[in-house]
């Protein structure tokens, strides 16, 4: 039996009627949830070749520009998080600002996406391990074995509770960022051809405007994940204060990390030889580490595996909390709102998410290949994030204009949403024109499939006579307020 707040001893963490364990994590843990889902080292080590190929020496500026766009997305989100610290996240935000139908579709899209993302990341991480350990050390273990182990660890963390998940994330995220910064610093101390140069920060050096823009497009989605602090809001201490800080704080920290690390990698490689960086068949981080760390690129592999595992754990947490938050209001079967008595985790949601991720990873990854699976589902995430962020922008405008006019701010709830929505529209266009090659070509259609499933559930289940009670609860916080 769970311990009620009135019966709890002072040294015990309390639980609310929602079932989740409140007061479990502080600002640091909430911040690491967002940063881990962003996946810092994977984000920079596997985008630097593309951004350099498109923007040349100006690649560090593309991350800075992407940071500015993401801040325009985060500003209205911060306001919503301050008033609506719910495990439902986008479901609650959009329901409160626009209405329950739009809220359900938004929450559904986010829940499905972050449920499936661990399948792609586990496959990708497994493929990196297979290639590096097999090629350099003769350890011949197939990628899917590593992927299964990663997803099993994610399940164990999710089942045991938010505290153990966050402890994992804190240690892993600090380690991977330390490795990334260490490699960048080593590159600056031991520069390649061209020496230490600040030319990359001079806008006058942008030679190809369209290439620079394409690099920004990719860089923007290297930042996604900052929103996941909302998923653990109910389990944090003082969520109305902590979650907004974690959303903005994670973006600022990752923005600084990306810009500095991109510059350090370019300098270490050699600013006079950036064409070779852009076309390197091996991730540039491995090549640079072998030079500046005397062949010790194994530490880069450890950091990348660490990053892949961290993002899988963070996405599992986001997915299970979002599913739980939706089910708690009745918009999904109530069984998904069931919590485990000892650990206070949404146990049915954990089992469902883990099973789906494992099935997708093996059933699609084995015939398609791990890299194709990653590229396809990663691009699908782009098409899912765009409508989610656009609806969140509209919800923020409506919520503050109607319900909190005293807090309505033109810059935060009009200008920032317009800027970010326009940027997201351009991203959608450039992701479709020209059409990508197979299997990435399937990404927009997979996103439409997610949407179609959500509409089937909404119309076929939630809008039937006698089944609409959830609509009055979709944007409320009875367990928090």
Identify the band that residue 468 occupies on the pLDDT scale cut at 50, 70 and 90: very high
Find the length of the chain. 481
Q: Give percent of the chain above pLDDT 70.
A: 94
Mean pLDDT along residues 452-476 = 92
Q: Is residue 214 a contact partner of residue 72, using CB atoms and an 8 Å limit?
A: no
Least confident of 104-118, 215-229, 327-341: 215-229
Q: What gap in Å lies between CA 390 and CA 388, rounded to an integer? A: 6
State both tokens at 23.
């007061």
In sequence order, the 6+-apart residues with CB closer than 8 A to the CB of 100 are: 331, 470, 471, 472, 474, 475
Identify the band that residue 253 occupies on the pLDDT scale cut at 50, 70 and 90: very high
The pLDDT, as a whole number, for residue 283 is 87
Tens digits of residue pLDDT in 343-356 = 788 999 999 999 99
- Which candidate, 263, 258, 278, 245, places its Cα nearest to that of 64? 258
The pLDDT, as a whole number, for residue 167 is 81
Identify the band that residue 271 occupies on the pLDDT scale cut at 50, 70 and 90: very high
Residue 481 has pLDDT above 80, yes or no: no
Tens digits of residue pLDDT in 196-214 = 989 889 888 887 777 888 7
Identify the band that residue 379 occupies on the pLDDT scale cut at 50, 70 and 90: confident
Residue 4 has pLDDT above 50, yes or no: no
Tens digits of residue pLDDT in 435-448 = 778 888 899 999 99
Tens digits of residue pLDDT in 34-53 = 998 888 998 899 889 989 99
Least confident of 10-19, 86-95, 293-302, 337-346: 10-19
The pLDDT, as a whole number, for residue 371 is 93
Mean pLDDT along residues 218-244 = 86
Residue 372 has pLDDT above 90, yes or no: yes
The pLDDT, as a whole number, for residue 18 is 47
The pLDDT, as a whole number, for residue 88 is 85
Residue 15 has pLDDT above 80, yes or no: no
The pLDDT, as a whole number, for residue 21 is 65
Q: Give percent of the chain above pLDDT 90.
A: 60
CATH class of the 27-86+109-368 domain in this structure: mainly alpha
The pLDDT, as a whole number, for residue 23 is 65
More confident residue, 427 or 177: 177
Residue 452 has pLDDT above 70, yes or no: yes
More confident residue, 398 or 46: 398
Identify the band that residue 292 occupies on the pLDDT scale cut at 50, 70 and 90: confident
Residue 332 has pLDDT above 90, yes or no: yes
The pLDDT, as a whole number, for residue 3 is 32
The pLDDT, as a whole number, for residue 6 is 31
Residue 236 has pLDDT above 70, yes or no: yes
The pLDDT, as a whole number, for residue 345 is 87
Q: Is residue 163 a contact partner of residue 27, using CB atoms and an 8 Å limit?
A: no
């Amino acid at each position: 039996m769970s311990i009620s707040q009135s019966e709890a001893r002072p040294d015990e963490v309390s639980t609310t009627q929602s079932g989740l364990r409140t007061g479990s994590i502080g600002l640091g843990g909430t911040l690491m949830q967002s940063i881990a889902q962003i996946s810092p080292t994977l984000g920079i080590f596997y985008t630097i070749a593309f951004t350099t190929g498109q923007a040349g020496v100006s690649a560090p500026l593309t991350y800075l520009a992407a940071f500015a766009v993401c801040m325009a997305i985060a500003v209205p989100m911060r306001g919503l998080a301050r008033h609506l610290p719910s495990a439902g996240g986008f479901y609650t935000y959009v329901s409160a600002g626009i209405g329950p139908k739009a809220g359900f579709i938004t929450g559904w899209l986010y829940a499905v996406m972050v449920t499936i993302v661990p399948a792609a990341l586990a496959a990708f991480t497994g493929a990196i391990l297979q290639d590096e350990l097999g090629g350099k050390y003769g350890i011949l273990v197939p990628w899917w074995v590593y992927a299964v182990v990663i997803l099993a660890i994610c399940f164990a963390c999710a089942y045991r509770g938010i505290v153990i998940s966050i402890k994992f994330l804190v240690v892993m995220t600090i380690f991977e960022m330390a490795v990334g910064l260490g490699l960048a610093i080593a590159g600056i101390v031991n520069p390649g051809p061209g020496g230490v140069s600040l030319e990359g920060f001079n806008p006058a050096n942008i030679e190809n405007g369209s290439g620079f823009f394409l690099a920004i497009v990719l860089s923007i989605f290297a930042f996604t994940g900052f929103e996941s602090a909302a998923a653990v809001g109910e389990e944090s201490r003082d969520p109305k204060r902590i979650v907004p800080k974690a959303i903005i704080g994670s973006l600022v920290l990752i923005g600084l990390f990306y810009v500095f690390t991109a510059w350090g990698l370019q300098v270490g490689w050699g600013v006079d030889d950036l064409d070779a960086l852009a076309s390197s068949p091996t991730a540039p981080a491995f090549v640079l580490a072998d030079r500046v760390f005397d062949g010790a690129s194994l530490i880069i592999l450890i950091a990348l595996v660490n990053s892949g595992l961290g993002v899988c754990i963070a996405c599992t947490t986001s997915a299970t909390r979002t599913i739980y938050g939706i089910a708690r209001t009745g918009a999904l079967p109530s069984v998904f709102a069931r919590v485990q008595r000892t650990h206070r985790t949404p146990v049915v949601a954990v089992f469902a998410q883990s099973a789906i991720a494992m099935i997708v990873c093996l059933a699609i990854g084995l015939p398609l290949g791990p890299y194709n699976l990653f590229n396809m589902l990663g691009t699908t995430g782009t098409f899912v994030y765009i409508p989610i962020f656009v609806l969140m922008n509209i919800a923020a405008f409506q919520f503050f204009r109607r319900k909190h006019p005293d807090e309505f701010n033109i810059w935060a709830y009009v200008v920032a949403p317009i800027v970010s929505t326009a940027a997201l529209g351009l991203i959608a266009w450039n992701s479709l024109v020209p059409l990508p090659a197979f299997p990435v070509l399937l990404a927009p259609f997979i996103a439409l499939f997610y949407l179609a499933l959500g509409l089937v559930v909404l119309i076929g289940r939630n809008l039937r006579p006698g089944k609409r009670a959830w609509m009055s609860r979709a944007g409320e916080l009875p367990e928090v307020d």
